[in-house]
Structure 1
Amino acid sequence: MAAQSFDVIVVGAGPGGYVAAIRASQLGQKVAIVEREHLGGICLNWGCIPTKAMLRSAEVFHLMERAKEFGLKADGIGYDLPAVVARSRAVAKQLSGGIGHLMKKNKVTVFMGAATLPKAGVVSVKTDKGSEELTAKNIILATGARARELPGLEADGDLVWSYKHALVAKRMPKKLLVIGSGAIGIEFASFFNTLGSDTTVVEVMDRILPVEDAEISAFAKKSFVKQGMKIMEKAAVKKLDRKPGVGVTAHIEVGGKVETHEFDTVISAVGIVGNVENLGLEALGVKIDRTHVVTDEFCRTGVPGLFAIGDIAGAPWLAHKASHEGVMVAELIAGGHPHPIKPGSIAGCTYCYPQVASVGMTEAKAKEAGHTVKVGRFPFIGNGKAIALGESEGMIKTVFDAKTGELLGAHMIGAEVTELIQGYVIGRQLETTEEDLMNTVFPHPTLSEMMHEAVLDAYGRTLHM
């Protein structure tokens, strides 16, 4: 069978790949996309979207339990786990189906199957019907990543769960151990804890949410402990003794001693590894460092016409970073002059309760980088809208360069901060100074007023505290 030829072939249809395909097609390229599992990738099917649907159920449940505070009555409050899971899966399915529609609308040819790159400019796709050979001058790798598995802590779907097992939970854990306190670990810990699981989180670093600002991590820990979660920092799970039908004995090293704790369920969330195997990358001369493809600021791999975007190209492992890289590469291929992406202007969001969001440098990182800093803080308790919402726990922190007034970083914890953070992201993108932010009129009554106050506080001008 003769090879089919395209201008651009995208390998992987997650939030990086499918967006790259759409943009390339908009720019007049003939585009093919290859996907071995689901359109929308992990993000839509097993990640960002279905977890948010589940966390929303937990949030509504939590609010129902607080009904009395709001002058409301709700009796016999409970939940139906299979129905919570079913809603989450339905949301994922709706969006995944939407990607198929977008591919048709943008005239992108979809090949469902596993791809290999036998030589430069060629993609071989193993489909149900046999194999197809595709050729293109430009190929974009967007194969994503999967959960890291530590020896002895591998998921079995029964006693030890990966994020996928947790998303289709067959039972509500009574005693849950979550290994890892990054975004994925903390979101699942928050979901199950809110619905009544006795939850313990083990983190090998000296604090939970280790990439966040230290003050935010400390605030989150205090909040989680208040909700009944147990947090073990500077701790490592050394071994799991599995007793089918009974539970797991976890051997946890903390403070130089090994303790044993009993659980009925374990969720492992210890990071991710790039999907770089079985593609034929090494033979093409692609450099791979710790399961990630090495690229320059424009996602070029060093092999002519071969780009890598999203999780496979390294941190930050975020869907929105992948999508933006996809657009950048499509524009580059079409002869445009896009700006490289600045990792420091990409926000990170964690949808636990309370939510956490940040952009730019932490206070410690800013000082390490040699900046003299001015730091502002404003608590939710000082904001009228937060009190009206019954969400008075939280804070917003800003970090400025004392000499130039540049906003170096912003860090938040509390209700809806994952929506608020974008204000500071735009501020950083437009290179605003403290003066621009102080002179901006924020609407009242909104949570966003705290963003204004946190800037004012950095310069000793806060009004409501």
Structure 2
Amino acid sequence: MKYDYLVIGSGPAGHVSAIRAAQLGLRVGIVEKDMAMLGGVCLNEGCIPAKSLYHSARVLDTVRRNPDLCGLEVRHGGIDMAGLVEKSRETARQLRNGLSFLFKKNSVDLIIGTARFVDKETVHVSGESGEASRVKAEKFLIATGSAPRPLPGIPFDRERVITSSQGIRLEKTPEKMLIVGGGAIGTEFASFFNTIGTGVSIVEIEDSLLPAEDREVSKRMRSIFKQKNIETLVSSRVKKVSVESGAVAVTIEGPDGETTEKYGLLLVSVGRIPSTSGLGLEKIGVATDDKGFIPVDERMRTNAENVYAAGDVLRTPMLAHLAYAEGEIAAETAAGQTSDPIDYSSVPNAVYSEVQAASVGMTEEKARSEGIDFRVGKQFFKSNGRAAVNSQTEGFIKIIADRDTGGLLGVHIIGYEAAESIHEFVVAKKAGLSVGDIAKTIHAHPTFSETAAEACRAVFGEAIHG
């Protein structure tokens, strides 16, 4: 059989693209090298199981901190990590089964095996048991995702030196651990392990936690970590690691020199690298850059006329929701349709720590560096009625708006369910609405979203409850 469109990789970009292409009338196949990883890293080793663990930990922590909650008698005991992990695995299994159903529903053929290009219309697919076949297609999508970036000279042993992939499967936790990398994933894991009782230190080479976020958000998150006894070492790097006597000895170089500490576990979260090697891209002339990323145009077309790419193999933010959009555009292009290009400045980012952070658009630092004339409005959740009711008053919403037009340049939230609250601003920014438009929109009371309107009013110094 020759497919109209063959997708390599079943992660967020791949499975969305395959289903969308099938909806548009194309004969579609999708190749996944491991049935147990159907749906990709996000579904099996990232977004879904990790957030399941975080949610379980937060529920347990809420009960632990509120023994008289709803008049219930709470009996304290140890945390059943194996149970938490099993719940997260079951969640992933349910969604994986759902994805299999969607493929069947949309007549997408699932092919299990590792794909490698033979020529511009053929891939060789080899299975785990040694069986092999050749699959032909008119057009292809490369959506093979990414893998954890190792520390130079420090290999993962998957027992004491681990990645997030092993971190979500730990059924026993150490008394003390070090996380290398203070970005979103490192921050989330630090928050999770701290919540379940592990002593956590986190080291970041940049001069702030969450270096990609607005400085005020980063600073507040670090303060929250300090309150929770999470040690944050910024402007620091790991210089040496050795595993000895069931522990990991780590030498850290910081502003005040070198220190060596022993930890029960070292979790490395210093970014990810595209999984583009071994695909035979040289056989079909698909270009990659010096880091292995595949350059594409706004229609997700590579330099090879019948080959598209989407998701983590692109030099765009490695976010599942962005991969969805990129995959959909690739499918529509392959089917001869035209769709609006992605506005990357309106793509939201979220950090799922106990106190969440979320953002869209420019940071204040970025706006200042570009010489933009802007105003800042900020409103704290402590003045919000629903936040008080829910005992979730930590954090704020910060708005960066054009001084003359009131147009949204950037929004930064730290607080309860920030990842949900950001979408009002994403829609407003994409639609070209001003802070005045949001401020004049009546928000239901009592809700956390009222703080959004107040933050917009604060841009002009008119917040009622601020």
Place the TM-score, normalised by the shorter chain, in its bin: over 0.9
| Cα separation, 2, equivalents of 1:266 and 1:330 | 40
**How many pairs does the alignment contain?**
461
Aligned to 1:36: 33
Q: Is the 8 A contact 1:359 1:411 kept in 2?
A: yes
Aligned to 1:151: 152
SS in 2 for 1:349: strand
- In structure 2, runs of 5+ residues without a counterpart are none
The question of 1:443 aligning with 2:444 is answered: yes
| Cα separation, 2, equivalents of 1:206 and 1:310 | 29
Q: Among 5, 10, 31, which residue is 1:8 paired with?
A: 5
Aligned to 1:192: 193
Aligned to 1:94: 94
Q: Is the 8 A contact 1:349 1:356 kept in 2?
A: yes
Q: CA deviation at 1:404?
A: 2.2
Aligned to 1:277: 277
Q: CA deviation at 1:256?
A: 5.8
| Cα separation, 2, equivalents of 1:151 and 1:129 | 33
Paired amino acid for 2:76: G
Q: CA deviation at 1:130?
A: 2.1
Paired amino acid for 1:24: A
Aligned to 1:79: 79
Q: Is the 8 A contact 2:117 2:283 kept in 1?
A: no
Aligned to 1:432: 433
Paired amino acid for 2:163: S
Q: CA deviation at 1:68?
A: 4.0
Paired amino acid for 1:47: G
TM-score, normalised with respect to structure 2 = 0.97
Q: Is the 8 A contact 1:287 1:294 kept in 2?
A: yes
Aligned to 1:421: 422
Q: Is the 8 A contact 1:65 1:77 kept in 2?
A: no
- In structure 1, runs of 5+ residues without a counterpart are none
| Cα separation, 2, equivalents of 1:410 and 1:82 | 38
Structure 1 residues 437, 316: closer, same or farther in 2, change over 3 A?
same
Aligned to 1:311: 312
Aligned runs of 1:230-269 on 2, under 5 Å?
230-245=231-246, 247-255=247-255, 257-269=257-269
| Cα separation, 1, equivalents of 2:430 and 2:444 | 21
Q: CA deviation at 1:239?
A: 0.8
Q: CA deviation at 1:418?
A: 0.7
SS in 1 for 2:12: coil
1:124-153 deviations in Å (ceiling 9; x for gaps): 211246222222221111000010012333
Q: Which moved more, 1:374-383 or 1:131-140?
A: 131-140
Q: Which moved more, 1:66-75 or 1:106-115?
A: 66-75
Paired amino acid for 1:395: F
Q: Which moved more, 1:264-273 or 1:252-261?
A: 252-261
Q: CA deviation at 1:120?
A: 1.1
Aligned runs of 1:165-244 on 2, under 5 Å?
165-244=166-245
Q: Which moved more, 1:114-123 or 1:127-136?
A: 127-136
| Cα separation, 2, equivalents of 1:129 and 1:280 | 19
Aligned to 1:374: 375
Q: CA deviation at 1:327?
A: 1.0
| Cα separation, 1, equivalents of 2:76 and 2:207 | 41
SS in 2 for 1:82: helix
Q: Is the 8 A contact 1:152 1:240 kept in 2?
A: no
Q: Is the 8 A contact 2:243 2:249 kept in 1?
A: yes
Q: Which moved more, 1:11-20 or 1:116-125?
A: 116-125
Aligned to 1:108: 108
Q: Is the 8 A contact 2:117 2:281 kept in 1?
A: yes
| Cα separation, 2, equivalents of 1:217 and 1:162 | 23
The question of 1:125 aligning with 2:122 is answered: no
The question of 1:343 aligning with 2:344 is answered: yes
Q: CA deviation at 1:71?
A: 6.0
Q: Is the 8 A contact 2:240 2:250 kept in 1?
A: yes
| Cα separation, 1, equivalents of 2:190 and 2:13 | 27
Aligned to 2:16: 19
Paired amino acid for 2:252: I
Paired amino acid for 1:16: A
Aligned to 1:67: 66
Aligned to 1:321: 322
Structure 1 residues 190, 45: closer, same or farther in 2, change over 3 A?
same
Q: CA deviation at 1:214?
A: 0.4
Structure 1 residues 99, 244: closer, same or farther in 2, change over 3 A?
farther
1:44-98 deviations in Å (ceiling 9; x for gaps): 0001000000001110111012214746442224310111111111111111111
Q: CA deviation at 1:102?
A: 0.5
Q: Is the 8 A contact 2:436 2:457 kept in 1?
A: no
| Cα separation, 1, equivalents of 2:465 and 2:366 | 29
Paired amino acid for 2:40: G
Q: Is the 8 A contact 2:64 2:76 kept in 1?
A: no
Aligned to 1:45: 44
Say what the alpha-carbon RMSD is for the aligned residues: 1.3
| Cα separation, 1, equivalents of 2:136 and 2:312 | 24
